[in-house]
Amino acid sequence: MNNDKKESFGKKFIKSVQLMILALFLAVFVFVVMNY
């Protein structure tokens, strides 16, 4: 049970980091295009 919980927390964390990276990439991309 505990391992399951840890794994699901880890997965959740990785997924939220993925989302952050995507958001950061899009933010930088939009900024670059705006100032091109």
Partner 1 sequence: MGNIADFIKSIPEAFNSPAITITLTVLTLFLLFYYTLSILKRNNARNLILIFTLFILVTGIIFILLGKDKGYGWIYFFIPLFFIIAVIIMFATEIKRDIWDTSAKKPNEIKHIEKGTGNNNANVCIDEIIKALQNMSKNDVGAIIILASSMLPKAILDSGVAIDADISSALIESIFFPKTPLHDGAMIINGTRIQSAGCFLPLSQELNIPKDLGTRHRAGIGITETINVTSLIVSEETGIISIAQGGKIKRYADSEMLRQTLKEFYWQDLIGQNK
Q: Residues interacting with partner 1, by CB under 8 A?
A: 15-16, 19-20, 22-24, 26-31, 33-36
CA-derived radius of gyration, the chain: 16
Smallest distance, partner 1 to C-beta of residue 12, A: 11
Measured at the CA of 16, the angle between CA 14 and CA 22, to 5 degrees, comes to 105
CB nearer to partner 1: give 6 or 25: 25
CB nearer to partner 1: give 3 or 29: 29
3-state secondary structure of 11: helix
Smallest distance, partner 1 to C-beta of residue 7, A: 19
**CA 5 to chain CA mean position, Å:** 20
